Amino acid sequence: MEKRQAEWIWYNGDYEIRQLNACLTSRYEREVFVPPFWHIDDFCKNVKFVKTFRLKKKERIRVLANGKFNIIVDRTDAPLNSYVRNYKGYLDLEEGEYKLTVSVYNETEIPALFVDGETVRSGPDFLVTSNDFRYVPAGCDGLTDPNCPPGKFRFSYQEVDFDVLFRNDKELFLDCKKEMMGLICLENCAGSGPVDIWYGESREEALDKENCELTDRLILPQKSRPDVSKAFRYVLLRAENADLSAVEILREFHPQARSSRFSCSDPRLEKIYSIALDTLALNTREFFLDGIKRDRWLWAGDAYQAFLMNYYSFFDLKTARRTMIALAGKPPVLHFMNQIMEYSFYWIIGLYDYYMYTGDLFFLRRMLPTAKRIIEFSHTRKTADGLLEGKEGDWVFVDWANLDNRGEVSAENIIYLKALDTVAKLCGLLGEDASAYAQEYEEMRRKVFDVFWDESRGVFYYSRVNGKLNRDVKRHPHIFALYFGLLDEAKKQAVIRNVLMNDKVEKIVTPFMRFFELSALCLAGETDPVYREVLSYWGGMLDEGATSFWELYDKDCTGVEKYAMYDRKYGKSLCHAWGASPLYLIGRYLVGLRPTQPGYRTYELRPCLTRLAEYSVTLPLNEGDVCLTYEQGRFTVFAEKTDGVLRLDPALYDTEAADADEDGDRIFRIKAGQTRVVRAGIKQEGNPQ
């Protein structure tokens, strides 16, 4: 067995927290610096690494540290506890059993250690303490180059081919042809003095010097590129005393090793899928960001959706874990994540998804204490009646919509129920006592229905403020109750009929809430309206010339007003992670892929794309991909390393003979490494128009 490479290690979680702080402090509104308005945790400057090992023969071990450090290396049978003196960069040790202790201190970057020998190599089997007398497994992120200790996140860069839209003696206007995150580089530009830069996600924005969201000022020759990359498609530059014709633009990105693929007989859907992939890729950097222009921050609710999209596109687990760890931060809990109450709950709920897609119990064990702390903290938000209500400093967000979120909000309490249920499940998986969570879940669930559900009307009311019911009927609580599986069959039908399919109930306008709404509809079997909605809503953005999907889209809003939000002319983000949800909707519900055992040990495909004559999709599993092709009335399925099943709804497909499950679906077993072809003609009548 090949020994794994040595890698840089650090105090568990500190790399992620350090990157988070860099990320959260990269936000500018023109020249104004905008730091986060919540508490940020920090890395430990003073840590100690410990490793016990046995050498069967003499070994030279290289020990590098990022920071000021000292080394104690003791034979375990004769500890001297004295520092290595006149250290030359390595230790020559004879055969025997040793305990290596390295204390590292660093004020500006995370203290880190790199140990490399024939048999002793730094990795997660080293222990580390912040000197609080608790040892935890060291953190790592795959940084194996001894010359590159952890510091700034390492992005990739690529020169961009742009069009010059106009040029005069002072100004230059460029189009990079699609949305991107990048750096303007003037190293090769002759001249001196200030160069002003106005960025735009739209042409209008870049040309509106007074109102565009992002600007920069470089000073030639000493400052020839910005400190922080920016999001843009268009760039306007102006210099009084410089020749800008040698400007270069570098795209800054985080490359992905894997990616889903989708092609089909409808070029519009194919394009939607491809733009959704671009949108998520642009927002997948050191973390899953909300949007690259603004806020370029990590928000737990946005990340929850990005995780799900990611399982159906890049399956980038390192970025997912980095995001979850950074959001977890350090104890104590001072406020909800991003100060938004339900964002902490989404974070918890996402842990179980992570488990289903990866089977990684080691990571769950690490995250569970944070989940429990959030529940404990939430208890400080309970009213006398036991329901949650926002207190000072809490933001009960739910959605960008016309919502009054004072008091006990039904949607909020429903999301909390799912979080409670998740913690109970995680405790069960990890052999910890789940009973307190299970009991609280039962009690709160009863209370939520008692207080908010009107059986006669078959709806949830929106909230209760100081004991007084707010009888507004909004889509939100219904979407969450359906999506999180809290409704019995009768209530489910009532909710679909009375609210989700009822045009009189105010429409959802954000892709964020649309993610939940369309997912809930799919779970209720209503996939065809979802298919149509993907084409019209996301297709609508394509018609507006989008090269990435937006924070919010309203087809009735046209002209330059469509870029406005938050009372700012170009406040709207035109590349927002939550805009990429077709990746999830198509992969999870329309192609119908899901893990049927934790860690994708087995999978299921239950396609319902009956409006497409042909399509071919490659989606990531935990190990390898699965490819599904439909053409000429036949499915072809192949996954190299994982067994699975193709389930076909006989209402949709005319199939060859097969076993049926309890729902009547036809089951076709697919062996790992073997291609299976299944005949399945589309029944037009099974596909409601």
Q: Using the minimum distance from each CB to its own copies, give the nearer residue, 14 or 290.
A: 14
Number of residues in the chain = 689
Q: Of 630, 559, 623, 561, which is closest to residue 592 (Cα–Cα)?
A: 630
| Element of type H or E holding 629 | strand 625-631
Which lies closer to its own copies via its Cβ, residue 33 or residue 362?
A: 33
Q: Please, what is the minimum distance in Å from the beta carbon of residue 182 to its own copies?
A: 22
Residue placing its CB nearer to its own copies in the complex, 131 or 241 = 131
Q: How far is the CB of 81 from its own copies (least distance, A)?
A: 10
Task: Name which of 34 and 465 has its Cβ closer to its own copies.
Answer: 34
- What 3-state DSSP class applies to 489? helix
Considering the complex, what minimum distance in angstroms separates the CB of residue 72 from its own copies? 10
Smallest distance, Å, CB 12 to its own copies? 15
Beta carbon of residue 140, minimum distance to its own copies (angstroms, whole number):
22
Strand pairing category for 68-75 and 666-670: unpaired
**DSSP SS3 for 263:** strand
Asked whether 630 and 607 are in contact (CB, 8 A), the reply is yes
**What letter would DSSP give residue 251?**
E
Shortest Å distance, C-beta 71 to its own copies: 9
Bridge partner list, 666 = 648, 660
Read off the amino acid at residue 94.
Answer: E
Structure-derived torsion over alpha carbons of residues 525, 528, 534, 535, reported in degrees to the nearest 10: 180
Pairing mode, if any, of strands 643-648 and 602-605?
A: parallel
DSSP letter (8 states) at residue 576: B
In the complex with its own copies, the residue whose CB is nearer, 86 or 689, is 86
Residue type (1 letter), 232: F
Q: Which is nearer to its own copies, 5 or 131 (CB)?
A: 131
How far, in Å, CA of 325 to CA of 317, rounded? Answer: 12
d(CA 47, CA 57): 30
Least distance from its own copies to the Cβ atom of residue 370, Å: 15
CA angle (76 as vertex; 74, 81 as ends), nearest 5: 35
Shortest CB 48 distance to its own copies, Å: 7
Say what the alpha-carbon torsion angle 564, 567, 568, 573 is, to the nearest 10 degrees: -50
Pick 133 or 362: Cβ nearer its own copies: 133
- Of residues 83 and 157, the one with the C-beta less far from its own copies: 83
Distance of alpha carbon 588 from alpha carbon 260, whole angstroms: 12
- Please state the closest distance from residue 186 (CB atom) to its own copies, in A: 23
Nearer to its own copies, 72 or 667 (CB): 72
Question: Could you list the residues that contact its own copies (CB under 8 A)?
Answer: 21, 25, 29-40, 42, 44-46, 48, 68-70, 83-86, 103, 105, 107-108, 130-133, 331-332, 334-335, 339, 392-393
- Smallest separation, CB 331 to its own copies (Å): 7
Residue 73 Cβ vs its own copies, minimum distance, rounded to whole Å: 13
Query: Which strands sit side by side in the sheet containing 625-631, from one edge to the other?
Result: 261-264, 615-620, 625-631, 634-639, 676-682, 653-655
Evaluate the CA torsion angle 329, 331, 335, 341 in order and state its sign.
positive
Minimum distance from residue 402 beta carbon to its own copies (Å): 20
Angle formed by the axes of helices 317-328 and 300-311, to 10°? 160
Quick one: CA dihedral 24, 29, 34, 36, positive or negative?
Answer: negative
Query: What is the rounded CA–CA span in Å between residue 631 and residue 488?
Result: 37
Identify which of residues 105 and 449 has a Cβ nearer to its own copies in the complex: 105
In the complex, minimum distance from the CB of residue 110 to its own copies, in angstroms, rounded to a whole number: 12
Nearer to its own copies, 45 or 203 (CB): 45
Whose Cβ is closer to its own copies: residue 149's or residue 582's?
Answer: 149
Residues 6+ apart with CB under 8 A from 453: 459, 460, 461, 491
Tell me the C-alpha to C-alpha distance, in Å, between residue 253 and each of 216, 250, 281, 303, 624: 20, 10, 8, 18, 24
Tokens of 689: 């128009």
Residue closer to its own copies by CB (options 56, 134) is 134
Phi, psi of 426 (to 5 degrees): -65, -40
